[in-house]
């Protein structure tokens, strides 16, 4: 990872930048380099990926602390056997090495179990209306999660007692076993069978949590959903997942948004579409009519001679962009309605209009209007 760009340099912030400074820098750069506003520019696409890699690390206090201390190497997976010339780089030899030494994964897993362990991430599916998605909304949700036991404060031991260091592994969570092979004496490291990798034992477990150090609770939480979200988008609440084990950090809570289908608007990305019925006279003569928008109403100037299927667009009157980019458009598709339930006078006026335009109108018997007039004159 030596060739990776420094995360602080990527976001253009100093190492002592506040969380708000980091968030503002991320939003500004994300808007600037978002693929939707750069027409497939490869350089902007690469920058956008760098920005989205740097922000989750610098915005998370625990990950930021690791990065500040170790840099990119703090997120590399340890590789057992690297002191022997990097066996795992050659493919195949690493498998033989694992057979005799117990494998790098076994050692890593044991080490991880004996250390602090991060809590699980949780998911909550939130349904909302299109109007809520357009304007942003605050929802109160109920989440069931693992929290630290308030009796033992996460230790797992009954108050007045304390966890004890495992006498078998001496707190490491691992035991070493020697065995002979044609390579010589080899050491195999496995999870301690007594403490199961915890590194400690509890002789008097807490009655409330049964020695687990955590209990399951359902909590209510207020969640701010930003404007412009669409179905399938995620809102991350850092540290609101399950509590960690042995002092480990809590996991995150991810809110997955689901926007309900609207009875008037149809959404396509950030654009909104709707169908507007108008009368025959307005379509022919032109005029103004109010159009419903997601925010209220707008006045539409209908051109004379407008036909069914024609589309009028209101720029920026669609959905806002969740990443802070340009809002979508509202597209209004015209549907000209044919008049119905005409009285005799209205019918006569329409017939006169048709006659003036030279249009032929047939009655139910298949005769034209002029043929029926002729019949009337001759008494037929």
User: What mean pLDDT do residues 201-228 have?
Assistant: 90
Q: Which fold does the domain 1-76 belong to in CATH? A: Helix Hairpins (1.10.287)
Q: How far apart are CA 27 and CA 91, in angstroms?
A: 42
Q: How far apart are CA 251 and CA 120, in angstroms?
A: 5
Residue count of the chain, please give it.
380
Domain boundaries, the chain: 1-76, 119-160+205-260, 266-337, 345-377
Question: Which residues pair with residue 146 across a beta bridge?
Answer: 216
pLDDT exceeds cutoff 90 at 146: yes
Give me the sign of the Cα torsion angle 297, 298, 299, 300: negative
* Least confident piece of the model among 19-33, 71-85, 178-192: 71-85
Please check whether residue 13 is in contact with residue 21, taking contact to mean a CB–CB distance below 8 angstroms: yes
What is residue 268's DSSP assignment?
E
* Least confident piece of the model among 27-41, 114-128, 133-147, 200-214: 27-41
266-337 classified as CATH 2.60.260.20: yes
pLDDT exceeds cutoff 80 at 18: yes
Non-local (6+) Cβ contacts of 109 within 8 A are 191, 197
Please check whether residue 210 is in contact with residue 182, taking contact to mean a CB–CB distance below 8 angstroms: no
266-337 and 119-160+205-260 share a CATH fold? yes
Q: With a threshold of 0.75, does the pTM exceed it? A: no
pLDDT exceeds cutoff 70 at 113: no
Higher pLDDT: 201 or 223? It is: 223
Please check whether residue 100 is in contact with residue 183, taking contact to mean a CB–CB distance below 8 angstroms: yes
Question: Which residues pair with residue 220 across a beta bridge?
Answer: 142
Please check whether residue 342 is in contact with residue 318, taking contact to mean a CB–CB distance below 8 angstroms: no
Task: Please name which of 34, 72, 49 lies closest in space to residue 321, comparing C-alpha atoms.
Answer: 34
Torsion region of 91: left, alpha or beta (phi above 0 gives left; psi -120 to 50 gives alpha) = left
Q: How far apart are CA 187 and CA 176, in angstroms?
A: 6
Confidence grade of residue 266 (pLDDT, cut at 50, 70, 90): very high
> SS3 breakdown of the chain: % helix, strand, coil, rounded to 5?
30, 25, 40
Confidence grade of residue 1 (pLDDT, cut at 50, 70, 90): very low
Location of structure tokens 């608007």:
265
Please check whether residue 227 is in contact with residue 322, taking contact to mean a CB–CB distance below 8 angstroms: yes
pLDDT exceeds cutoff 60 at 127: yes
Mean pLDDT, the chain, as a whole number?
A: 80
Looking at domain 119-160+205-260, its CATH superfamily turns out to be Urease metallochaperone UreE, N-terminal domain (2.60.260.20)
Backbone dihedral angles phi then psi of residue 181, each to the nearest 5 degrees:
-145, 180
Question: Which residues pair with residue 298 across a beta bridge?
Answer: 291
**What is the helix (H) or strand (E) element at residue 25, kind and residue range?**
helix 19-33
User: What mean pLDDT do residues 288-303 have?
Assistant: 95
Please check whether residue 261 is in contact with residue 231, taking contact to mean a CB–CB distance below 8 angstroms: no
Q: How far apart are CA 300 and CA 129, in angstroms?
A: 26
């Amino acid at each position: 990872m030596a060739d990776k760009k420094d995360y602080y340099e990527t976001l253009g912030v100093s190492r002592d930048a506040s969380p708000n400074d980091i968030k503002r820098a991320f939003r500004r750069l994300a808007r600037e380099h978002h693929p939707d506003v750069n027409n497939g520019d490869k350089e902007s696409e690469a920058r956008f990926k760098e920005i989205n890699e740097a922000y989750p690390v610098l915005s998370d206090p625990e990950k930021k602390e690791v990065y500040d201390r170790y840099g990119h190497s703090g997120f590399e997976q340890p590789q057992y056997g690297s002191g022997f010339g990097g066996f795992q780089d050659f493919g195949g030899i690493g498998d033989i090495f694992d057979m005799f030494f117990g494998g790098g994964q076994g050692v890593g897993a044991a080490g991880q179990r004996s250390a602090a362990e991060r809590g699980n991430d949780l998911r909550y599916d939130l349904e909302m209306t299109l109007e809520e998605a357009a304007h942003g909304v605050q929802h109160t949700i109920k989440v069931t999660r693992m929290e630290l036991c308030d009796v033992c404060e996460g230790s797992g031991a009954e108050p007045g007692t304390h966890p004890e260091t495992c006498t078998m592994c001496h707190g490491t969570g691992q035991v070493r076993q020697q065995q002979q092979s044609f390579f010589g004496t080899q050491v195999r490291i496995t999870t301690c069978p007594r403490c199961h990798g915890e590194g400690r034992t509890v002789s008097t477990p807490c009655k409330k949590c049964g020695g687990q150090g955590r209990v399951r609770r359902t909590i209510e939480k207020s969640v701010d959903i930003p404007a412009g979200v669409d179905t399938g988008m995620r809102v991350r609440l850092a540290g609101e997942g399950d509590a960690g084990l042995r002092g480990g950090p809590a996991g995150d809570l991810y809110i997955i948004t689901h926007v309900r289908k609207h009875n008037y608007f149809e959404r396509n990305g950030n654009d909104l579409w709707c169908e507007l019925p108008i009368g025959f006279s307005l379509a022919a003569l032109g005029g103004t009519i109010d159009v419903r928008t997601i925010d209220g109403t707008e006045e539409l100037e209908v051109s004379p001679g407008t036909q069914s299927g024609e589309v009028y667009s209101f720029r920026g009157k669609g959905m806002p962009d969740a990443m802070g980019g340009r809002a979508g458009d509202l597209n209004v598709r015209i549907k000209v309605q044919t008049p119905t339930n005409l009285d005799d006078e209205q019918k006569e006026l329409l017939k006169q209009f048709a006659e003036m335009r030279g249009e032929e109108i047939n009655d139910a018997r298949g005769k034209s209007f002029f043929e029926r007039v002729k019949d009337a004159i001759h008494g037929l």
